[in-house]
Structure 1
Amino acid sequence: MAESESAFRERTETNRATALEFMARLSAGDVEGFVALYHPEASLWTSGQTLISGTYTREQIAASAGAVLEAFPQGLRFEVQATTAEGDRVAVEAVSEGQHASGQVYRNRYHFLFRFRDGQVIQLKEYMDTEAVTEVLCGGQRPGGQ
């Protein structure tokens, strides 16, 4: 049986709300909270050729996300600028700002593409300014010592 239009709209809005909850938990530094929104088979793909670029499993995310956020003693705040949602896909445009432990202010712009399965994030793609990541988060270091 095909999904009704109203059920499709309801699923779309539920997924949008979950994506926004994810962003709120991320902004609050609630690692356990946003990891809980991932499906057990989830993956995170981070764009570019930085030290943190690549594809990660839910377990790898849970193990490393805290270390990234701990590099911001006063927190790393994310502000959602816009969302677009259709079915199991939600796009989120956001900006972040926080003072890194190095003393540098980190600001970045993002496009997050969430895909959902059974109400949980099954895949997250993170596009951002990779030069800002390299400069601040990676202390200017590049893969392969470049």
Structure 2
Amino acid sequence: MMDERQRNLVLARQFMDADDRNDSVAIANMYAEDGIHIVTGTTAISGVYTKQQMLAAAGGIFAPFPDGLRMKVHSMIADGDRVAVEVESHGRHVSGEVYNQHYFWMLRFRDGEIVESKEYLDTELVTQVLCRQQLTAPAQPFTRQAAD
């Protein structure tokens, strides 16, 4: 029988496999109803995203990569309800530029679902490749809605 640490490592691997398949619906569905995803930094895509926002945006997340965005896990380590993952992505953006990003993800699980993920990445690369047309506009991050 798996302990919490082992179970969360398996779930984190499933999450990263869905990311590698560019299956944004499967990714969003791994989150608890109150789960959030945080993209660090001050870029146009930085902010806090709810599960509902992730599902609404699911079709467009990988759209700028017509041949897909491959994700390679370099390492994972778990402690209790958290799993830390080092990841590298590689794909050709619609602009023709290669997007080779390096990430650190911290995933927190509850009852087999993600309740929080925090994505640390090279924000300058995000700005130069993903947000080029928005270089002069201030970041407009999503914010989590307060519970009633």
Asked if Structure 1 and Structure 2 have the same fold, meaning a TM-score greater than 0.5 normalized by the shorter chain, the answer is: yes
Q: What's the C-alpha RMSD, in Å, of the aligned pairs?
A: 1.5
C-alpha displacement of 1:68: 2.3
Please tell me whether residue 11 in structure 1 is matched to residue 4 in structure 2: yes
Please tell me whether residue 97 in structure 1 is matched to residue 86 in structure 2: no
Higher percent of residues as helix: 1
C-alpha displacement of 1:65: 3.7
Matches of residues 54-65 of structure 1 in structure 2 within 5 Å?
54-65=47-58
Of 46, 51, 63, 1:70 maps to: 63
Unaligned ranges ≥5, structure 2: 140-148
- Greater gyration radius: 1
Report the AA paired with residue 106 of structure 1.
Y
Corresponding position of 1:120:
113
Please tell me whether residue 131 in structure 1 is matched to residue 132 in structure 2: no
Report the AA paired with residue 37 of structure 2.
L
User: Equivalents in 2 of 1:37, 1:21: separation in Å?
Assistant: 9
User: Equivalents in 2 of 1:86, 1:23: separation in Å?
Assistant: 18
Q: Is the 8 A contact 2:109 2:116 kept in 1?
A: yes
Corresponding position of 1:3:
none
Report the AA paired with residue 113 of structure 1.
M
Corresponding position of 1:40:
33
Report the AA paired with residue 138 of structure 2.
G
C-alpha displacement of 1:18: 0.6
The SS at the match of 2:61 is helix
C-alpha displacement of 1:141: 2.5
The SS at the match of 2:5 is helix
The SS at the match of 1:61 is helix
Count of aligned positions: 138
Q: TM-score, normalised by structure 1?
A: 0.89
CA, structure 1 residues 104+110, in 2 after alignment: closer, same or farther (shift >3 Å)? same
- Deviation beyond 3 Å, 4+ runs, structure 1: none
C-alpha displacement of 1:140: 5.3
Percent of aligned positions with the same letter in both sequences? 41
